[in-house]
Every structure is written in structure tokens, then in C-alpha cells.
Structure 1
């Protein structure tokens, strides 16, 4: 039962005694009420059975001087909160340190140390999330564009296979930590009405004490383990992108969730193609006469037949053409475009016929120069 439930019940009223009643008076009152409401004396009487449970609960606390003292202290503190302006039942809108309203405030957070720490979750080791892991993978340009399924070999700390994560030698069992009673956390006074909760220094937050350590993991319950994961890399992933794979990290303890795996992706460059968002890019060399007179050129694609690009006469160097739907896969399920940039090639060597043709072109062009306008602009 949570500490809140203990502190909000008036056990003295349940037994019909005053707050300063002696132990003998409490015992006498309990025996009288227990005889009157015992299930054996009231077969089929649900109300008497519930009353008997309340009486037994009250006596379990008030019959112990230590528990009774703690109960009185917590009842006194709880009463201060109920009567304080803006406290429980007040109109001031009591706020928790995190900004929640009175409806969000859980008194058991204040009273968690009542009766030796028997608040919520104190009876068994605390569930712990597994570690987040990070690894890297290098994929080809094609895999980045189209998506891929990769096998990843992972080595991480997992529950020990010898002791199955208990940390104890086979044939033995760990015991619940006597200091934190299995919660893995301890509460110490921090001044005022509040307390500071931190990992137990005796069991180091595990909630368990191992007296006969496992020879494989030396009592930690964890040991290096290798496993192969099949990971799906989505289409369109970029170089340097970090992908989160939920639940693929280290395994949790005591029923806790697995951690996450973060995959850092490296993409190998392609000899011909580049990326620009969802579009692929390629630079294609063309000859001077193709650019000057116009031409239809074939351009390779990444994963299909080549496409034909129609270059009009007078195409300048560096002009970009677009082949729709020939780019990378998009998140929406479509494809980007292929952006084709032409680069006019100047031959390093000329045959006699080529030289004669170019000289004839120069003679036909006359004395005009594309640089003439530059001098006019500065004159």
C-alpha cells in the first residue's frame, strides 16, 4: 500500500481509541472489534469482512511503537498540507516543482519513506531501461538512393547468459538489498518537508545484493555479447545522417524497456552521380559543335536505361537540363529528377581537318568578339 494511503487514514478512529491511547488500550480495542467483525462470525457479510480488514490494517501500524511514531509524524505533516493555502483542497492552485497543478501532485513522493520505505515500487528491484548504443555503417551511393537492408554485427553488454542476468553463481540467488528494500533508490533528508532521492550506495542502484558472484560477469549481471541485427536503411538517406532505431539498443533489466540504437550512415561517393536533395546530378561532356549547332545526347541513369536530352543550338557551357522522375526516391513514394549539366569540351589536340574547319569558322566570324561589350562598359 502506498504511503499516501496510510497517511490519509485515521487508524485511531478505525479502532475507536484516542490518539494518546496506551498499547494495552489499542490491543483491547482491536480484539473486541476483531471478534465482532471476523469473517467466521459473519459468513457472507461483505461489509463485516471489509471492516475486519480495516481493523487489522490499523492495528498493524498502531501496535508497533516505531511505525506508530512515523505514522503520527506523517499524519501531522499531511495535515499541514491539507490546511495550507493553496494546498490540498485549497483554492491556491498548489504547483509541483515541475509546474503541475494540485491534481498532478502525488503525496507519496513526499511520504515515500514511511514505514521503512514501503511506498510504491519498493518491494521488487527497479526496472531499468537498457543502454542506448551507437554504431556506424558505410553504404554505397545506390543503397542510399534506393534504400537497403543491412546486417549489423553488434557487441554490447547484455544480461549474462551464465546467470541469466542475476549476477549470482548458478544454483544461488541474489537477495533484496536491505538498505533500499529492492527499489535501487534511497531517500535522504534535504531540509524542510522534502527529501532527496538517489541511487542506493550499497547495491549501486540494482536493488539486489549478490553474495556468490557469477564467475562470468563477476556479479554485475552483464557480460559482453555479440549479435547480428537486420537494419532497414530508408531510401534517400544522406551521408552523415543519424538514424534512430527504437528498441534495438541494450536490453533492459527487471522488465525495463530496451535502449535505442543510433546508426551513423556514411555514403560512398559515386563516380558519375551526385545528390541535391531528392534530385540526382550529373555533368555530361559535349563537343563544341553539339553546343553550337544543337544535338540530341544520351545520358546514363542510375538504375535504368539512358535518357535522351535535346540540346538546342547555341547551348552555353554549364546549362542544366532536367529529366523528370529519374532521380532519388522520395519519402512520399515518388522520385526526384535527374539534373544534367553540360560541359563543353575543348580538344587538346586537333587533326589537320579539324584545324582547317575551325580556322574557316574564325574567318567567317570576322573581327567580332564576345568581349567587346566589356570594354564599352568601362570606357
Structure 2
């Protein structure tokens, strides 16, 4: 296991930091005057404090105890809608663009829900990247720690989706190669930000080695750790890491596979069973494995299930889906991300787990009513 390097502050950095803690609006000129150093030197020390995670974003904001760090994908969502889909042919329709990516969506949704969020992700300095930066910043997310890639082969991530007349996915292509740059070196550079957070949320678009390193950074800390499964295949990256999580949010297919209840090859056959039988099988497996995190299992129109270990028993609770008329549904992209965000926001607001899950379900229901991947109306839930 790699030994983590502790980034200590120099005596001068400590002096600058103490002045900023006393007055977050203090100017560089005032700091220079108090410490009898040049303004350019002050700028250098502030840069060091920011890189080491002691300052966040603009305005010399010191790292708060209640901030949430989200690590994951950010990409541009390009969505084509076909009211009259014709398989194997060009279908008339229209195309929309919006900022997306599981990690980015969760971060924006949480900001809309009133949380202080820092997003750690990678984008390129292309026009897609510029759009992501501007829209994510405007939503209230701290984007000051984005990695801006200079590698020519790594362009800003793109999610290209084709949706039918009901807003359901027909097929998609997701180019997230740039996330290879979210590696142990990047996380080590952001170590202080991660370690001083109250909650860390990540998605499985990250490389498996990156997930391992992130959990290593969090291993001795008290922050709440939440993973979003993203997809069946990507969820497998969590298979030997579940013991390090507090919560795992995924759909039933993803949960069955990552727990090992079924294999990837058996997943299709498992879908032919009744929902009741599938949930009961997951419950029985969960009962025999006390080290598993608390599970929030999405089941679409059938709502969600919550599983947790309580003393010698297993708590299984079903939550009804929000009531939505079919004509209200615009599309389903981002619904799971909103559920994760609502759950996390509820936990941060000290709601009971039942109320936190209900908040997530409400956030998910609002999301499917919007063409945007993150519905601004989420702000009305808090």
C-alpha cells in the first residue's frame, strides 16, 4: 500500500491562513502589509493553500466541515428524440444539449438542494469543456479543482443518447476516456479537500484503481462514503470494496451483480423472475453478509427498496414511486443521479434515512419531467 504524504503548511503559509480565517474578505494588499511581504508573495502563498486544500474556490473560503466532495464523470449530454422511432433508419426528431455526467449531475442536484459541493473531475479545454465549466459553476458547484486536460487524445466526455417518444433510452454511446486522468496523482493533490469533507460521493465511471485509491484516502476518516453504481458492468469495480462504503445506490440489476447474487451471464435470466422473488433473494444474501453497506435499490415505477443491518436483523423497507402521469415524463436520463443526490442531501440535513430516501424519490420524479438532466425545480424541495 502506498504511504500518503502529509502536506504540512510552512510557517509563512500558516500566517497567511490565520489572517484569512479571521477575515475571509481580507485583500492581498492587507495581508502583505500585515506580514511585511510583497503582494506577489501573498499570491504565491494563497496558491499553495488552495492546492493543499486549505482554501476552496473564490473569496478565500476556508475548507468547511460540512462540504461534500463528489468525484466522477462530467460530460456533455447530446440527446436525440424520435417521436416516431424507425429501427435501422434515420428517424425525424430533434436534438438537445445539456451538461451531464453522473458525478457532475449528482453535484449539481445537491447544489440545487442547498448543499456546499466540490466537484473533482476532468475536462478538456475544448468548447464542450467550457460549456460544462460555465453551467456547472452557475448551478452553485465549486469547480475550482477541475482537472483541465492538455492531452490531445482526451477530449471532454460526451454522452450521445437516442430516446423514443416516451423519453426512454433506445441506445447510447458514452465516451469517458478522459476520466483516466482522474488518477492517484490527481487525488493525492486533492487529498486535503477529500479528507476534510463531511461526505464523499463517487461514481463507477472512475477507473477501478482510482476508486481503490480514493477509498484508501478515506479509510481512516469519519466522512460518509456513498457510491453510485452507474451500470451493471461498471458496478463490478466495487465488488471487493463494498465493506469500505456506508451506502450504495443502484438499480436492482446492478445490485444483484455487484453483490454476486447473480453473474453478468445470469442477469438476463434473473429479470424473468418476479420483483418480489428478486428482492427476497437479495435480502437473503444481504442477511448472510453483515459487512455490506446500506443499500438503496431503485426499481423504476415500483419505487425503491432500502436494506440495512440492524443488530441481529435485516431491515427491508419498500418506498412507493412518486405519482407521475405518463404525459408528464419528458425523459428518464439523470433520474438515478437525482435519487442519489436527494438521499445524500437528506443525510446531510440530518433527516431520518426514510425521509432522505423519500427526498431522493421526489428529486428523481422532478428530474424525469424536465428536458434538462438536472431540473432547477429541485431547489423547491428544500
Q: TM tier, shorter chain? A: under 0.3
TM-score after normalising by structure 1: 0.20
TM-score after normalising by structure 2: 0.20
* Bigger proportion of residues as helix: 2
